[in-house]
Structure 1
Amino acid sequence: MTETDFAYLRLLLQQRSGLSLTADKQYLAESRLSILCRRRGVADIATLIGQLRLGRDRLLENAVVDAMTTNETLFFRDRTPFDLFRDVILPERLAANAASRSLRIWCAAVSSGQEAYSLAMLIDDIAGRLAGWKVEIIGTDISAEILEKARSGIYSQFEIQRGLPIQMLLKYFEQRGDKWQLTERLRHMVEFRQHNLLERNDHLGRFDIILCRNVLIYFDVPTKMKVLELLAPRLAPDGAFILGAAETVLGLATKFVGDPDHRGLYRQAPLAAQPRAVTTAGSRAYAAPLAGWRA
């Protein structure tokens, strides 16, 4: 790959996905795009970049973004945020929303779905307390391909072994040959939608809890600021915002403040508080435990 082609690729990725590809990652780009060339029957990377420059093939652009995006995730990743969700945030929200009996959760940059399904397992664990509640878990990602995998709920033995407690495996998965699939009931607890974090998100509505973990680390400072600015209005004034262990809003956003008692947990800053939006229609909801999850 020539320096000129690599510079073009870096600009394309920055504009389309926010991904900040540093100059020392040319080897990574060549490796991943070589695989893409073989899959699409393109002669070489130079030809691929040439097709991109024509600007006529949006599907090709999407494929390149998908190829260069890191989809690293696992069940109950970094465990601490899930303990925080179960022991602090969820009880807090159940008390705060007792009148409305509704709860909305957004997993941004959800990748192949393990984070959203991990939350669903924790919520299902207290189904007896949620009779009559409407609970929505929305998982979004820029990649249509990875979202299809998430919707299928099918994971390899390697993916299952990474972070999933054995009791959760036995309770929520069914073996399919050499793979494992989440039960239909649990899959229906999560709705997956394609969404680019750099674009407007008004259509998603307002959420009580937003997780945007381990994605800001791939963005440059201006892009991080833009993403946080777009996320802030989507969080309820008294909601919870969770970042990854290596991420912070410090110096990047004025509408979020850190929770002094819990690392990685952020709240709306007082001046950023906004009225709660009406829940969007068309999302999956949690009904009484006996009725199960419904569309």
Structure 2
Amino acid sequence: MTPPDFEYLRKLFKDHSGLDLSADKQYLIESRLLPLARKCGLAGIPDLVAKIRSGSSQHIVQAVEAMTTNETFFFRDKVPFDHFRDTIMPELLKARAARRAVRIWCAAGSTGQEPYSLAMYLKEMSAALVGWRVEIIATDLSQEVLEKSKAGIYSQFEVQRGLPIQMLVKYFKQSGEFWQINPELRAMVQHRQLNLLHDFSQLGSFDVVFCRNVLIYFDQDTKINVFNRLARLMDTDGFLVLGAAETVVGLTDTFKPVADRRGLYRPSGLRAAGAVTPRLAALAAGH
């Protein structure tokens, strides 16, 4: 890959997805795009770049998706899901007792392991949620991974990574070499294609936002912008869950860490200019 092509692709990925690749990441671009070039019937990356430079929207989308599709597995890192079961949901069951509704957003839902892990924990606590409306919205930049998530079909390798055997038996049905998550759990997750660089206020307000292992690829200004916009969708008793290598500390005052709960944050009530909480907006509208 020539230096001009590399710089062109770096700018393309940042503009389209927020992916901020340092100058030493040429190997990463090559490892992700070479298989794509071959899949498209092209000789190599230079031919793929030529297609992209010509304005081929199809090749642009495919290249961006190839670069932004990240690894995921069931109950990844375990701790955030323990927080969800042991801290987040017990607190929300009290705080939302009047309206009996909880909305959860997986902002980088990928192939579905994260939202379905949450769905399984919610099923485990179903006795406490009788009469409640619980929504899980899973979004991702890539339509391809969202389609896999909707299908809920996973290989033996994928279900062996992080998924307790008792949950596999309880919530999945085997079909040949693959396992499909039960229709009841698939119905608990709504899927929408979404780019975090774009406006996401149309999704409405949320009580819990899982935004894990995606902002780590953004530059500082983009991270701050996303955090500030997330805060506008949440009341101060909501929860933000970040990846192990991610933090709001030193970036924004719109969220504050939860003591003794690694990766867990709450809106601080301090909003970026012009921001209005969902609750205040409802009061202003007379609801």
With the shorter chain as reference, the TM-score category is over 0.9
Q: Which residue of 2 aligns with 1:36?
A: 36
Q: Which residue of 2 aligns with 1:99?
A: 98
How many residue pairs get aligned? The number is: 277
Q: Which moved more, 1:253-262 or 1:185-194?
A: 253-262
Instruction: For residues 78-117 of structure 1, give each alpha carbon's deviation from its aligned partner in whole angstroms, at most 9, with x where no partner exists.
Output: 1111111101110100111111010100011111110100
What is the SS of the residue equivalent to 1:23? coil
Q: Which residue of 2 aligns with 1:116?
A: 115
Instruction: For residues 158-182 of structure 1, give each alpha carbon's deviation from its aligned partner in whole angstroms, at most 9, with x where no partner exists.
Output: 1111100011001000001101100
CA drift at 1:127:
1.2
* Structure 2 runs not aligned, ≥5 long: 283-287
What is the SS of the residue equivalent to 2:222? helix
Percent identity between the aligned chains? Answer: 57
Q: Which residue of 2 aligns with 1:274?
A: 277
Q: Which moved more, 1:219-228 or 1:202-211?
A: 219-228
Q: Is the 8 A contact 1:71 1:112 kept in 2?
A: no
Q: Is the 8 A contact 1:76 1:82 kept in 2?
A: yes
Q: Distance in 1 between matches of 2:234 and 2:278?
A: 10
Q: Which residue of 2 aligns with 1:189?
A: 188
Q: Is the 8 A contact 2:201 2:233 kept in 1?
A: yes
Q: Distance in 2 between matches of 1:153 and 1:77?
A: 17
Q: Distance in 2 between matches of 1:27 and 1:214?
A: 20
Query: Is 1:59 equivalent to 2:58 in the alignment?
Result: yes
What is the SS of the residue equivalent to 2:24? helix
What is the RMSD computed on CA atoms of the aligned residues? 1.4
Q: Is the 8 A contact 1:107 1:116 kept in 2?
A: yes
Superposed, which structure 2 residues align to 1:194-213 within 5 Å? 194-213=193-212
CA drift at 1:58:
2.1
The TM-score, its normalising length taken from structure 2, stands at 0.93
Q: Which residue of 2 aligns with 1:17?
A: 17
Q: Distance in 2 between matches of 1:173 and 1:37?
A: 35
Superposed, which structure 2 residues align to 1:1-295 within 5 Å? 1-55=1-55, 57-272=56-271, 274-276=277-279
* Structure 1 runs not aligned, ≥5 long: 279-295
Runs of 4+ in 1 over 6 A off after TM superposition: none
Q: Distance in 1 between matches of 2:32 and 2:215?
A: 21
Q: Is the 8 A contact 1:108 1:212 kept in 2?
A: yes
Q: Distance in 1 between matches of 2:242 and 2:60?
A: 28
Amino acid at match of 1:192: H
Q: Is the 8 A contact 1:235 1:241 kept in 2?
A: no
Q: Which residue of 2 aligns with 1:286?
A: none
Instruction: For residues 41-73 of structure 1, give each alpha carbon's deviation from its aligned partner in whole angstroms, at most 9, with x where no partner exists.
Output: 223322221221232x22221100111124211
